[in-house]
Structure 1
Amino acid sequence: MPLPRRSPLRLSAAALLTAAALAGLMSAPARAADPAGSDHDRALQRQLRQLIAAPGGPPGIIAVLRRDGRSEVHRAGVAEIGTDRPVRVSDHMRIASTAKAFSGAVSLRLVDRGKLRLDSTIGRVLPRLPRAWHRVTLRQLLNHTSGLPDYSEDREFLELLAADPRRRFDSRRLLDFVAGEPLRFRPGSRYRYSNSDNIAVALMAEAVTGRRYEDLLARLVYRPLGLRDTSLPQGYELPEPYLHGYDVTPPDPPEDVSEVLSASGVWASGGIVSTPRDMAAFVRGYAGGRLISARTLREQRRWVAGASEPAGPGANKAGLAIFRYATRCGVVYGHTGNFPGYTQLIAATADGRRSLTFSITTQVNRLNKPELLEQLRDVQEDFVCELLRR
């Protein structure tokens, strides 16, 4: 989601540290590395420091590798500029578009329960939505081949956001911003990432169950996976403690944008708040198939050409609310996301036994920081290689 440049919620520049100083504030992995792995650990830590020192780099980074029942935490920088507090696995953060994987988890569980089918259409489940959209199926929403226009690119939506970044939108009416627009292309004919898709998925889940999406998340995802610090708020505030997110646009000093935007404007497409610890548990369960049947898992992993936003490590392909990242060291499954102040990657092996979460505290994508994105993807690929290393 875009952020109106230089919001009125600016911090004093006197309280900010320089990127060079931040690069020096780095803690060791939570689990001491064994001698054979020390060179790998040092190389990974060096790459995190280089990301922080890069132009437009994040003030803080945390990467959590989980394998063989043990977690390794690599981190660099600080959780909040002006302090020496390290980033922790219990820090809350905005998970950006990795929230789309949660809508996938909800809808695919409802498929298993017979409440939805992958060929359920908008017209049948959500007849109030524009007739031009009625042929779009749940499958096409989940793999971004629906053709729905993206409400987050709508001029009126962006003007309202610029006028009041903390505006409380009616999350269930976000698609109204593009209700007068036709489909961008024939459903199923091509791939185009759209924030509208997962709003429609959540509305379909509500329509067939009679329950609020927030309640479905708790019943179908949080509780089965033991997620205790994950929520979908409507406002702009983050629960304490939280990982502060920043707009880092040299030569301006970093600006804290953690609580600039209301989550109501992204809702099921990117509004969830979680922690690195919960995200690791989620992606192991989701990518590993714990939440859905083997039959539905096979359908989820029918791949089409397409990349997550921002692109994840290696070669990307799109499934149903999940992406396949084929790196030089092997394949992992997950999702990425970016939001003002945060960029996220969650990934796991097909069996869910190994996972990686990689969180940085500034927004990086192909439009705002293309060079830094390529550096970030390279580092993420090296972490995937470490995850898969025997």
Structure 2
Amino acid sequence: MPRRHGRAVTALLTASLVLTAAGPAAAGSGPGSAGEDGDGALRARLQELVDRPDGPPGAIAVLRDGDRVRVYRAGVAEVGTDRAPRSTDHMRLASAAKAFSGAVALRLVDCGLLGLDDTIAGRLPSLPAAWGAVTLRQLLNHTSGLPDYSAAPAFVEQIRADPHHVFDSRHLLDYVAGEDLEFTPGSRYHYSNSDNIAVALMAEAATGQRYEDLLATEVYQPLGLTGTSLPSGYELPEPYLHGYAVQRNEPPQDVSTLFGASGAWASGGVVSTPKDFSAFAAGYAGGPLISEATRQQQRAFVAGASEPAGPGANRAGLAIFEYTTRCGVVYGHTGNTAGYTQFGAGTPDGRRSLTVSVTSQVNQKVDPDLLEQLRGVEEDFVCALLDG
């Protein structure tokens, strides 16, 4: 495999495994005033990311307050062109897709088809008996103890041998079916990609419907998401933000279509747009998508950060994270994969939301200094959102 592809594979696999504790976010400059198309101090903060020698080629942020939408952008959507990132460009959401599986599960809890204390043994008896006591609640807040399939040697080897390999997404957990739980369920937090695979399988078992169809009926349609999908292949809908592997002193390498989505599925395979992602972030953080009773369960937080860590202090809820910044609290999710890093969050009432998307992979292992700066930029956008 070409050297650039090997680097991208390594970045994808190492970034999505064990969460590494991140330090405090860098103190960002004040947000200042900004126009509808990215002028002002906030756009300058995005430009600082893009201008770094290890920075992403492109960045776009969307702030939504009811019907008012402000878009900020820097860099380009594709290296070698002058096309700026747009809010209707497609992109990989990476682990922010876990919030989508959470939304499906919590909608099913609302209508009585699933319960937060339902167990793997009760809903998915074909999975290992040693995992049987794990509950839906523990899967959603990453306290299940399930071993991470994406770290399994056989899975890693398959990705290395053929990044476009089409996995049977319903059997991703087979890669770790011979392993015991890593700890007693509920005893501690440990971010695992296996958790949301099991969540989607529970949703399918409870309804008899495919997870992809549940996404459409329970998430896309209620929130009016028209540019969001869960593909199984490696291609992205046009137009899209190109994602890059960035190394200092080397040209960025386009890795947008290096991997198929079937190996991530409910843990990271969703493709969306900044426009849709911001609408989802608002609806999932607050508002009518989930009942108030279920939302109270969703916001029962434990110590734990998203991957990569988001702005401020992080705590883990049910497929959602609390981010306590210098300006206040928002709820959302982050994600990173080869070529993309995402942050989406909304206010507790669901009226306002923000997304920050950059076109390279940024996390504690790949580039901790860049992550610190990115978290500072995200916090500046949170402050702009909350200050209105």
**TM-score, normalized by the shorter chain, greater than 0.5:** yes
For 1:308 and 1:228, how far apart are their aligned partners in 2? 26
In the TM superposition, 1:62-211 aligns within 5 A as: 62-211=60-209
2: CA distance between counterparts of 1:291 and 1:83? 39
SS at match of 2:163: coil
Matches of 2:232 and 2:88 in 1, distance apart? 21
Shift of 1:29: 6.5
In structure 2, what is the equivalent of residue 271 of structure 1? 269
Aligned residue number for residue 241 of structure 2: 243
What is the TM-score normalised by the length of structure 1?
0.91
Instruction: For 1:231 and 1:333, locate their aligned partners in 2 and report how far apart those are by CA, in whole Å.
Output: 22
The equivalent of 1:259 in structure 2 is 257
Mark the CA change 1:75 to 1:321 in structure 2 (over 3 Å): closer, same or farther: same
1:263 maps to amino acid? A
Query: Corresponding residue for 2:36?
Result: 31
Gaps of 5+ in 1: 11-27, 34-40
- For 2:258 and 2:174, the matched residues in 1 are separated by 23
The residue identity in structure 2 corresponding to 1:99 is A
The equivalent residue for 2:16 is none
Code of the residue aligned with 1:366 in structure 2: it is Q
Residue 377 (structure 2) pairs with residue 349 (structure 1): no
More contact order relative to length (CA 8 Å, sep ≥ 6): 2
Q: Which residue of 1 aligns with 2:53?
A: 55
Q: Distance in 2 between the 1:107 and 1:84 partners?
A: 41
Secondary structure of the corresponding residue to residue 227 of structure 1:
coil
Contact 1:4–1:162 (CA under 8 A) maintained in structure 2:
no
| Aligned counterparts of 2:319 and 2:3: Cα–Cα separation in 1 | 30
The CA deviation string for residues 314-366 of structure 1, in whole angstroms up to 9 with x for no partner, is: 00000000000000000000000001000000001000111101000000011
Alignment deviations for residues 57-83 of structure 1 (CA, whole Å, 9 cap, x no partner): 100000001125211111000000010
Q: Deviations over 1:26-62 (max 9, x none)?
A: xx966268xxxxxxx5221221111012232100000
Amino acid at match of 1:63: A
Give 1:243's aligned amino acid: L
Deviation, 1:293, is: 1.1
Stretch of structure 1 that moved more, 216-225 or 60-69: 60-69
Using the TM superposition, name which of 74-83 and 49-58 deviates more: 49-58
Q: What is the identity percentage for the equivalent residue pairs of Structure 1 and Structure 2? A: 67
Q: Write out per-residue CA displacement over residues 85-134 of structure 1, whole angstroms, 9 at most, x where no aligned residue.
A: 11000000001111000000000011111111000000000000011100
C-alpha root-mean-square deviation of aligned residues, in Å? 1.8
Deviation above 4 Å: which 4+ runs of structure 1? none
Cα deviation for residue 5 of structure 1 reads 5.7
What residue in structure 1 maps to residue 285 of structure 2? 287
Per the alignment, residue 213 of structure 2 pairs with 215
